[in-house]
Amino acid sequence: MLRFATWKLASVLALVAAAILLVMPSFLPAETVDTLAAKLPGFIPLRQIVLGLDLQGGAYMLMQVDDASVIKSQAEALRDDVRQKMRDGKIALSGGIVTQPRGVLVRIADPAERQKAYELLQSMSQPIGGPLAGGNGRSLEVTQTDAGVQLTLTDAAIADKVRHAVTQSIEVLNRRINAMGTKETVIQQQGVNRVLIEVPGLQDTTKLKEIIGQTAKLDFQLVADPGDPPNEVETLPMQKGGGTIQVQKRIMVDGEDLVDAQQSFDQQTGEPDVTFRFNLRGGQKFGQVTSENVGRPFAIVLDGKVISAPVIRSPITGGTGQITGNFTLDEASSLAILLRAGALPAKLTVVEERTVGPGLGQDSIDAGKRAAYVGGILVIIYMIATYGIFGIFADLALAVHILLIFASMVLLGATLTLPGIAGIVFTIGMAVDSNVLIYERIREESHLGRSVISALDAGFKRAFATIVDSNVTMFVAALILYLFGSGAVRGFAVSLGLGIITSIVTAVTMTRMMIALWYRRVRPSRLPI
Amino acid sequence: MKLLRLAPENTKFGFMRFRRVSYPLSATLSIISVLLFLFVGMNFGIDFAGGTQVDVRAKSGEAHIAEIRAKAESLGLGPVEVQQIGSNSDVLLKLNVQPGGDAGQQTAIAKLREAFANDYEFRSVDAVGPTVSAELVQSGTLGVVVAIIAVLTYLWFRFEWQFAVGAIIGTMHDLLLTVGFFCVTQLEFNQTSIAAILTIVGYSLNETVVVLDRIREVMRKYKRLSTAEIIDMSVNAVLPRTIMTATTVFLALLALFFLGGHVIRSFSAAMIWGIFVATYSSIFICSPMLIYMGVRADAPERTKEKDADATSADTKVKA
Q: What is the mean pLDDT of residues A236-242?
A: 86
**A380-404, pLDDT tens digit by residue?**
999 999 999 999 999 999 999 999 9
> Quick one: average pLDDT of A187-205?
87
pLDDT of res. B252:
94
- CB within 8 Å: A436 and B57: no
Give contacts of A 217-236 with B, CB under 8 A: none
pLDDT, tens digit, 9 for 90 and up, residues A29-50: 878 877 887 777 766 667 888 8
**Across the interface, which of B158, B247, B259 has its CB nearest the CB of A469?**
B158
Instruction: Please say whether the dihedral angle defined by the alpha carbons of residues A481, A487, A488 and A490, taken in this order, is positive or negative.
Output: positive
- What phi, psi does A439 have (nearest 5°)? -65, -45
CB-CB: which of B3, B102, B143 is closest to A484? B143
**Which pLDDT belongs to residue A455?**
92
In whole angstroms, give the CA distance from residue B255 to residue A112. Answer: 84
Measured between CB atoms, does B297 come within 8 Å of chain A? no
Whole-angstrom Cα Rg for chain A: 35
pLDDT value at A498 more than 90 = yes
Instruction: Name the band, by pLDDT with cuts 50, 70 and 90, for residue A375.
Output: very high
What pLDDT is recorded for position B297?
A: 52
What are residue A276's DSSP bridge partners?
A261, A321
For residues B172 and B188, give the distance between their C-alpha atoms in angstroms, rounded to a whole number.
21
- Which residue, A66, A95, A70, is CA-closest to A83? A95
CA distance A318 to chain B (A): 41
Q: Which pLDDT belongs to residue B317?
A: 38
The residue ranking higher by pLDDT, B86 or A498, is A498
The neighbour count for residue A226, using CB atoms within 10 Å, is 6
pLDDT tier, A117 (very low <50, low <70, confident <90, very high otherwise): confident
Q: How far apart are the first and last CA of chain B?
A: 37
Determine the longest span between alpha carbons in chain A, in angstroms: 113
Return d(Cα A370, Cα B291) in angstroms, integer: 46
How far apart are the CA of A405 and the nearest CA of chain B, in angstroms? 17
Cβ–Cβ gap B106/A385 under 8 Å: no
**pLDDT of res. B296:** 62
Interatomic CA distance for residues B128 and A437, integer angstroms: 44
Average pLDDT over residues A259-275: 88
Phi, psi of A244 (to 5 degrees): -130, 170
Q: Give Cβ neighbours of residue A196 (< 8 Å, ≥ 6 apart).
A: A60, A61, A62, A63, A186, A187, A188, A189, A190
Given a cut of 70, is residue A412 above it in pLDDT? yes
Across the range B290-307, mean pLDDT stands at 57
Share in percent of chain A as helix, strand, coil (round to 5):
55, 20, 25
Task: Give A449's contacts in chain B (Cβ within 8 Å).
Answer: none
> Cβ–Cβ of B261/A471 closer than 8 Å?
no
The per-residue DSSP string of A446-485 comes to: HHTT--HHHHHHHHHHHHHHHHHHHHHHHHHHHHHHHHH-
Percent composition of chain B: helix, strand, coil (DSSP 3-state, to 5)? 70, 10, 20
What is the rounded CA–CA span in Å between residue B105 and residue B122? Answer: 16
CA distances from A514 to A54, A392, A517 (A): 39, 10, 5
Higher pLDDT, A398 or A97: A398
Whether B314 contacts chain A with CB within 8 A = yes
Mean pLDDT of B19-39: 93
Dihedral sign (CA B54, B60, B66, B72): negative
CA pair distance A54, B86, nearest whole angstrom: 18
Give the pLDDT score at B303. 41
**pLDDT tens for each residue of A40-93:** 776 666 788 888 888 989 999 999 988 888 888 888 888 888 888 888 888 877
pLDDT tens figures, A425-468: 999 888 899 999 999 999 989 988 889 999 999 999 989 988 98
Whether the CB-CB separation of B281 and B273 falls below 8 Å is answered with no
Question: Taking a contact as any Cβ pair under 8 Å apart, which residues of chain B between 132 and 191 contact chain A?
Answer: 132, 136, 139-140, 142-143, 146-147, 150-151, 154-155, 158, 191
Helix/strand/coil (H, E, C) string of A73-123? HHHHHHHHHHHHHHHHCCCCCCCCEEEECCEEEEECCCHHHHHHHHHHHHC
Task: Quote the strand ranges of A201-312, DSSP E.
Answer: 218-222, 233-237, 244-248, 253-254, 258-265, 272-278, 298-302, 305-308
Higher pLDDT, B40 or B159: B40
Helices (H), A184-318: 206-213, 280-292
Establish if A170 touches chain B: CB-CB under 8 angstroms.
no
| Residue A28: pLDDT over 60 | yes
DSSP A308-370: E--B--S---SSEEEE-SS--HHHHHHHHHHHHH---SS-EEEEEEEEE-HHHHHHHHHHHHH
3-state secondary structure of A195: strand
What are the chain A neighbours of B4 within 8 Å (beta carbons)? Answer: 382, 385-386
Chain mean position to CA B88: 31
Where is pLDDT greater, at B305 or A213? A213
| Residue B198 with chain A: CB contacts under 8 Å | 477-478, 480-481
B132/A382 touch (CB, cutoff 8 Å), yes or no: no
pLDDT of residue A29: 81
H helix or E strand, kind and range, residue A521: helix A511-522
Under the banding of pLDDT at 50, 70 and 90, the label for residue A130 is: low
pLDDT at A343: 83
Q: Residue window 189-248, chain B: list those with CB within 8 Å of chain A.
A: 191-192, 194-195, 198-199, 201-203, 205-207, 209-210, 213-214, 217, 237-238, 240-241, 244-245, 247-248
Contact status of A485 with chain B (Cβ, < 8 Å): yes
Candidate from A64, A368, A484 with C-beta closest to B131: A64
Cα-to-chain-centroid distance, residue A190? 7
| A10 and B CB contact within 8 Å | no
B248 and A433: CB-CB below 8 Å?
yes
Residues of A in contact with B151 (CB under 8 A): 473, 476-477
First vs last C-alpha separation in chain A? 18
DSSP character at residue A297: B
Residue of B nearest to A424 (CA): B252
User: Any idea which of A231-235, B40-44, B300-304 has the lowest mean pLDDT?
Assistant: B300-304
pLDDT at site A131: 53
Decide if A192 touches B, using CB distance below 8 A: no
For the stretch B148-170, pLDDT in tens is: 888 888 888 888 888 888 888 99
With a cut of 50, say whether residue B305 has pLDDT above it. Answer: no
Residues 345-404 on A with a CB inside 8 Å of B are 349-357, 359-360, 363-364, 367-368, 370-372, 374-376, 378-379, 382-383, 385-388
Q: What is the pTM of this model?
A: 0.82
Is it the case that residue B298 has pLDDT exceeding 90? Answer: no
Tell me the average pLDDT across A257-278. Answer: 88
pLDDT one-digit tens code per residue, B231-281: 999 999 999 999 999 999 999 999 999 999 888 888 999 999 999 999 999
List A196's β-bridge partners, or say none. Answer: A62, A188
Q: Which DSSP string do the residues of A15-31 spell out, in sequence order? A: HHHHHHHHHGGGGS-HH
Across A155-168, average pLDDT:
86
> Does the pLDDT at position A97 exceed 90?
no
| B180 confidence band (pLDDT: 50, 70, 90) | very high
Nearest to B251 among A54, A379, A422 (CB): A379
Domains and CATH numbers, chain B: 15-43+133-308 (1.20.1640.10), 51-128 (3.30.70.3400)
Contact A295, A303 (CB under 8 A): no
pLDDT (0 to 100) of residue A337: 85
Contact yes or no for A55/A364 (Cβ under 8 A)? yes
> How many whole angstroms separate alpha carbon A249 and alpha carbon A261?
25
User: pLDDT-derived band of residue B311, with 50, 70 and 90 as boundaries?
Assistant: very low
For the segment B124-141, what is each residue's pLDDT rounded down to a tens digit? 999 998 888 898 889 888
Cβ contact A474–B202 (<8 Å): yes
Of B102, B147, B207, the CB nearest to A349: B102
Burial B137-160 (b: 16+ CB within 10 A, else e): bebbeebbebbbeebbebbeebbb
Which pLDDT does position B300 carry in this prediction? 46
Residue B196 to residue B268: CA distance in whole angstroms? 8
Nearest to B249 by CA among B211, B199, B291: B199
Which residue, B312, B237, B13, B55, is CA-closest to A57? Answer: B55
Mean pLDDT of A285-309: 89
Structure confidence at residue A303 (pLDDT): 86
- Taking the Cβ of residue A28 and every Cβ of chain B, the question of whether any pair is shorter than 8 Å is answered with no
What is the per-residue pLDDT for B309? 41
Count chain A–chain B contacts defined by CB atoms under 8 A: 263
Per-window interface: B 34-63 vs A, CB < 8 A: 55, 57
- What percentage of residues in chain A have a pLDDT greater than 90? 24
* Interface contact B194-A375, CB threshold 8 A: no
In Å, how far is B69's CA from the nearest CA of chain A? 22
Task: Report the C-alpha gap between A338 and A179 in whole angstroms.
Answer: 9
